[in-house]
Structure 1
Amino acid sequence: MMSQFDKDMSRCDGGNPSNKSSASEAASEQTNYLDHEIAQLTKLGSSPHVHLGRVVPGRLRLPISTVKMLLGREGNYGGRGRFSSADRCHLQCRYLPVNGPRMVDQMRSRAYVSQFSADGSLFIAGFQGSRIKVYDVDGGWKVKKDIRARNLRWTITDTSLSPDRCYLVYASMSPIINIVNVGSGTTESVANVTEIHFGLRFSADDDNEFGIFSIKYSTDGRELVAGTRDSSICVYDLGADKLSLRIPAHLSDVNTVCFADETGHLIYSGSDDRLCKVWDRRCFTTKGQAAGILMGHLEGITFIDSRGDGRYLISNGKDQTTKLWDIRKMSSNAFNAELGEEDWDYRWMEYPPQAKKLKHPKDQSLASYEGHSVLRTLIRCYFSPSYSTGQKYIYSGSSDGFVYVYDLVSGAQVARLEHHEGPVRDCSWHPFYPMLISSSWDGDILSWEFPGGGEARARPKRRSGRRRDYYYY
């Protein structure tokens, strides 16, 4: 695939025309321009060397054509004799994965989670019907592991793959998280029948009300952090095989948690209490005391993704927005005010039109991205890959069945991927290739790519007569 992509890069106009002109035009017309340090960092990470575009006389205009950049590289206009990472990102981020889709798999139960491994060699998809599939991406998307889950309540709420890609943990609305050996030779992994699924207990009581919405491995693979239904954040020490930390973190369900960077010192959390919180494990002075609070969402927070630098993060909210945050703007106390709609429930009600006009009086976010819908389930959002795009974009699933891609700096919507018949709860952009996988409550796992000449592959047929009684989580 990569060799074909490299061929495309040498073409004069080898891209999707709609991605080259319409995106830049929309960005230029956008009035909500992000004037902040992260805008400059994004430009530095995804803009080419100024001399590479000046192969012919005239004003430098972005985006610079592929041919000009190739000529500039051969002529050593940048002074390096090669493309820098920013040059590469400038080229690759124009080739958005919007063609297709191609069917990867089709199940008869709702897909809740779907993620590439950090190196892009594996892809994990979790379904409500107690199934988790691990696909070998480099091996033609063959199923490497077909996992039949145990201790499952309601659905697979989250999965996380260890950094060495040997172990997978999966969570549900249960106090026990299970761990599976993904590296073993057994393809079909039926819990405690063909393989042992080791249980890690996150609550002493077998409480039917306890559940885990979010679970993440630390970068070193030694710890797990979890967000729970009892308003807590839990950290599990895998080496000691015990719960090492439990914080009563929020006033409502903790829907999402993640480590801020590779150190594991900082943890981000998001809750139905409408707050994002930052936790620094190096300086706990009082149990349950956050290092800072980020306010701005009018409704509960469904997901958080870290930029990986310990400074910036994005969050999806039930107020139908994705927000960008800088933790240096956080507060020590929350602003207690009656916000949002009191009787509104995102699981089965549409978002009230009048609520879209409301603004948080103490909004600390840097920017808001609107267009997608966060209803029915905990819709997820992400930064685009650093390697291929310089994290220039933000993308999100949506309850209307689309995947939305926004320009981080301008806020412009640069792509909308349409095919699913149910909410797209999760989606994942390959860390290196122009490929995006979307998973939906319609049971379909679809691949969106940038193929050879820009031709869309044969689209999978929609299935008729499918029920659409979608409700919880």
Structure 2
Amino acid sequence: MKEKEKELQLKDSKLMDALALENSLKAEIKHLEHTVFELEATNQTLKDEHQALQMAFTALEEKYHKVQEENSELMARWLSQKMKEADVMNQENDRFFRHKQERLQKDLEDAASEPVQIQAEAITGVYMRGVTPICLSASLPTKAQCILDAHEGEVNAVLWSPTGSLFATGGSDRKIKLWDYNGGQCTCKGTLLGSNAGITALEFDFDEAFVLGASNDYASRLWSLSDQRLRHTLTGHSGKVLTAKFLGDSTKVVTGSHDRTLKIWDLHTRACSKTIFAGSSCNDLVTLHASSIISGHFDKRVRFWDPRSDQTINEISLQGRITSLALSPDRATLLACTREDTLKVIDLRMNQVVYTLSADNFKVAFDYSRAVFSPDGSYAMAGSSDGTLYIWNIKKEKVERTLKEHTHAIMACSWHPSGSVILSSEKQKKVVLWSDI
């Protein structure tokens, strides 16, 4: 009897354990079902998010393709516009060259119709104001005819007037001096005052009535040659003005500055009519038929500007900082002097470098060293840091002559419009006039 009771108790115990296990498993099943429900809900949310992202991606992809198509269309239109502008510039160059050739032909015909004693002029070195010399072939001087202590310090700029009847020098002593060249002798005929810092660049107007000077005092100034009086002071730059040129005629001026801007000035109102943000310090600039400005910059780029717009119409990148720019007599070629110790000859019609001029010992001394073409466009000239003046034959790409008289680095040079006389200036006071006369 007791054994049966024990068996029943054992069975009841097992039954209770089984029931407890069953209840535990049922609770776990419910927990797992709840977990599965939550996971299904999360999965559905993720599916919905994925679908939404997929739709957003599709929309963005369509927008991207549309923007790509618009960009391609804009690039095509931009290239087309650039080609049109290049064609316009080439046409203007052609017109200017034809006009110059016609004027030259007329001058030659007029000169041939009456006797002219050219030899006497060549011997005396006298040039008449108002009569621009005609240079058919430039000659290369071999000797220093005049050595001048032109200024009290650096002579940053030297320039012949359009007729060659006089030349101007600008120095760190804040003065511009005017010099007569007569009978092989150089005589100071006046000093232009008014600048508050060193003169950095000079420019004569075509009629030889005014001289324009850029200065380190953040300004440029205009003097009249007839009475040697200061007429205009153009202020507005926030850095040194490194270059100033007339734009078309003597009523407009364009200046380039260390403050990375170009400014166009109206001399009638004595005010800045336009400011162009160039993006880099402008060391020099030239103007092309009043329809284009070409600037050379510290960031090694030559930029082409339309005065009516703030945007570049072309850009050429070189290997060195650009110190100066000069136009050839036919205005179809640009000469760029760079701190990589080379001169680059750029064909403006092809917008590319066609000649590179260099020499073993030629070193560009300053960020504002100036190089020039000869009046017939056959030669290029620049000064070196050791005081040597180099003259290259452009088409042969070789040094044709070196002239040594300076004892300090040469800063600027200028070729007489007749092609027979050369000027060069140095870091320490001196200006040298080179001639075979």
- TM-score by structure 2 length? 0.65
Aligned residues: 305
Evaluate the alpha carbon distance shift between residue 107 and residue 177 of structure 1 in structure 2; reply closer, same or farther with a 3 A threshold: closer
Give the fraction of aligned pairs with identical amino acids, expressed as a percent. Answer: 24
Name which of structure 1's ranges 424-433 and 403-412 shifts more when overlaid on structure 2. Answer: 424-433
Counterpart Cα distance in 2 of 1:377 and 1:301: 7
- The match for 1:212 among 241, 249, 252 is 241
Deviations 1:51-100 (A, max 9, x none): xxxxxxxxxxxxxxxxxxxxxxxxxxxxxxxxxx99x73xx43x411223
The alignment status of 1:270 with 2:275, answered yes or no, reads: no
Counterpart Cα distance in 2 of 1:226 and 1:199: 12
- 5+ unaligned residues in a row in structure 1: which ranges? 1-40, 46-84, 187-194, 331-363, 452-473
Higher relative contact order (CA 8 A, sep 6+): 1
- The match for 1:176 among 211, 219, 223 is 219
Bigger Cα Rg: 2
3-state SS of paired residue (1:450):
coil
Deviations 1:226-253 (A, max 9, x none): 111111111111123211121112x321
Contact 1:145 1:182 in 2 (8 A): no
Partner of 1:234: 263
The alignment status of 1:427 with 2:417, answered yes or no, reads: no
Partner of 1:304: 325
Partner of 2:72: none
Deviations 1:129-174 (A, max 9, x none): 122110122485322211234332xx21112222222222222223
Counterpart Cα distance in 1 of 2:182 and 2:399: 31
What is the Cα deviation at residue 326 of structure 1? 1.7
The alignment status of 1:400 with 2:386, answered yes or no, reads: yes
- The match for 2:371 among 370, 381, 393 is 381
Counterpart Cα distance in 1 of 2:258 and 2:152: 27
Contact 1:294 1:365 in 2 (8 A): no
Evaluate the alpha carbon distance shift between residue 327 and residue 196 of structure 1 in structure 2; reply closer, same or farther with a 3 A threshold: closer
Counterpart Cα distance in 1 of 2:337 and 2:189: 32
- The match for 2:174 among 127, 130, 136 is 130
Deviations 1:196-252 (A, max 9, x none): 56322234xxx4xx1210011234212111111111111111123211121112x32
The alignment status of 1:110 with 2:154, answered yes or no, reads: yes
- 5+ unaligned residues in a row in structure 2: which ranges? 1-96, 102-132
Q: Which structure is higher in helix share?
A: 2
The alignment status of 1:201 with 2:201, answered yes or no, reads: no
Contact 2:232 2:270 in 1 (8 A): no
The alignment status of 1:369 with 2:350, answered yes or no, reads: no
3-state SS of paired residue (1:215):
strand
- Superposition CA RMSD, Å: 2.5
What is the Cα deviation at residue 377 of structure 1? 4.4
3-state SS of paired residue (1:382):
strand
> Structure 2: which amino acid aligns with 1:267?
I
What is the Cα deviation at residue 258 of structure 1? 1.0
- The match for 1:162 among 202, 205, 212 is 205
> Structure 2: which amino acid aligns with 1:370?
S
The alignment status of 1:281 with 2:281, answered yes or no, reads: no
Partner of 2:285: 257
Contact 1:420 1:442 in 2 (8 A): no
3-state SS of paired residue (2:312):
coil
- The match for 2:432 among 427, 446, 449 is 446
What is the Cα deviation at residue 433 of structure 1? 4.8
Evaluate the alpha carbon distance shift between residue 118 and residue 437 of structure 1 in structure 2; reply closer, same or farther with a 3 A threshold: same
Contact 1:219 1:264 in 2 (8 A): yes
